[in-house]
Amino acid sequence: MKMKLHWQDKTIFQKIVAIVIPILYLLFCLLWAGPFWLIFLPFILDYYFTKFINWSWYRNIKNKTLRGFVSLLADLLWAVIGVHLLSIFFVQNFAIPTSSLEKTLLVGDYLFVDKVTYGPRMPMTPLQVPLTQNRFLGRESYLSKPQLSYKRLKGIRKVQRGDLVVFNFPTGDTVTTKVTNPDYYYLKEMYGGRAALEAQPEVFGKIVYRPVDRRDHYVKRCVGLPGDLIEIRNNDIYINGKQQARPEHMQLNYWVCTRGGYFSSEELKHLGISLDDQHVVSPSQLSAGDLEAMGLTGVDPSDLQALYLLPLTEEMRQQLASDSRVSKIVVSQDPNTNLYPVGHDLGWTRDNYGPLQIPRKGLTIELTPKALALYSRCIHNYEGHALEQRPDGTILIDGQPATHYTFGMDYYYMMGDNRHNSADSRYWGFVPEDHIVGRPALLWLSLDKDLGLCGGKIRWRRMMHTIHGQPL
């Protein structure tokens, strides 16, 4: 049994450790983490010097069975603390919930998120249930106070265009606990205000505010950097007027017309289309006008045997086009203009969007009505300034008249590779730098939800692959 060591009984190495660790922790708090974290310094000093707390009290329990049980609990507690610290500063587990990055990251992929590359972020909500994000046993798993300021250690590099990035969902600051998609701001727009949502708790649940680091995790590809002028023209991205190369295996939704037979679910699955993404429309329900509105001009409803809406890469599109059953393939058009900024119809669509200036730290803009529509969320929600526009047109920031605003943070523009099945910056706007969590690093497990355990559920070929932003 390990004996309690007094200072005079410690080895030189133990004495050095006892002196160095408290000093390093003190410097860590004073120079970066902040004074809040000094609350743990007395415990560190006591562990190494004063011994007011009997840290190994359970080792004195006489009942052998009870002592073994309590020792096990203590070991588990230290393990949880260790894993929790590891997940805060170094690496965190993450599961892919949607198909927005299909072909690069699949639904059912489990991966480790590297927090070192962009620099680890200090917890802004320090009082939480370890190893939870925002919910535990049906309740919020954290205390909203205290809230600490945003601090990030310097990373290896900054976010680059084309990176896959994990981040806290920006418009997840306010959520309806029973309905999370669409987000609260779209629900409020759809139903006529917050009061309408609060009046239906059985449908929407409780409305709660979540701090930055407790918001849900999303993963998308960074397509626009701070200061970039971004525009989407016919599904192609232009940065500062220059067309960007499409991500390898980028997908769009296509209408696929057949007149020579049907596709089985197995055929489409083999092509790379999950069951959830296999949509079939009955031609008998469509008129020539409906088909024309869908972009299928000249297609006779009576000549159709089946009509599919499928997400396809260019390679998959060519493969289907060569099938004798297919008569026509057309990119799906979506006239919906209900995009970011919510409540302001600028005539933009998911396929033709912008141009839009991405804010960067130090950038100054004139506060025009259009600028307010685009950037008021950045000013108020993300940078925490009181923003008011009076009936006479005067704009107040923190109670002071303002005609210009200078951004205090960098922002990023994120999109999914599965362009027509991705809730991304086109719908909810910019990602502030304090929302960046890390970079997907290692895919350690991949499960196909459409298959059974003995039918190929485990995607063995994808496991234990490093992730560099390209398909595996």
**DSSP code string of 409-421:** S-EEEEE-SBGGG
Quick one: which H or E segment has residue 188? Answer: helix 184-191
Q: Which residue has the tokens 């398909």?
A: 471
Query: Average pLDDT, whole number, for the chain?
Result: 91
Q: What is the mean pLDDT of residues 244-263?
A: 90
Rounded-to-integer distance, Cα 7 and Cα 50, Å: 10
Nearest to 436 by CA among 224, 217, 227, 225: 217
Tens of pLDDT, residues 140-164: 999 999 999 999 988 999 999 999 9
Whether residue 146 has a cis bond before it, omega within 30° of 0:
yes
Q: Which residue has the tokens 């008569």?
A: 327
Token duo for residue 339: 């995009």
Q: What residue ranges of the chain are covered by domains with CATH 3.30.70?
A: 252-331
| pLDDT-based confidence at residue 261 (cuts at 50, 70, 90) | confident
Rounded-to-integer distance, Cα 81 and Cα 196, Å: 42
Q: What is the mean pLDDT of residues 120-125?
A: 94
Answer whether 307's CB lies under 8 Å from 253's CB. Answer: no
| pLDDT > 70? residue 470 | no
Q: How far are the Cα atoms of 133, 206, 218, 403 from residue 244, in angstroms, in the given order?
A: 35, 42, 23, 34
| pLDDT-based confidence at residue 104 (cuts at 50, 70, 90) | confident
Question: What percent of the chain is modeled with pLDDT above 90?
Answer: 68
Question: 10 Å Cβ neighbour count for 77?
Answer: 11
370's CB contacts (< 8 A; 6+ apart) are 346
- The backbone region for 380, taken as left when phi is positive above 0, alpha when psi lies in -120 to 50, beta otherwise, is alpha
Q: What is the mean pLDDT of residues 443-451?
A: 89
Rounded-to-integer distance, Cα 253 and Cα 308, Å: 10
126 backbone dihedrals φ, ψ, rounded to 5°: -75, -25
Beta bridge partners of 379: none
Answer whether 325's CB lies under 8 Å from 258's CB. Answer: yes
Q: Which residue has the tokens 């701001």?
A: 185
Token duo for residue 255: 């209408």
Q: Which residue has the tokens 């979540």?
A: 210
Q: Tell me the CATH number of domain 252-331, given options 3.30.160, 3.30.70, 3.30.1360, 3.30.310.
A: 3.30.70
- Is pTM beyond 0.85? Reply is yes
396 backbone dihedrals φ, ψ, rounded to 5°: -115, 130
28 backbone dihedrals φ, ψ, rounded to 5°: -55, -45
206 backbone dihedrals φ, ψ, rounded to 5°: -80, 140
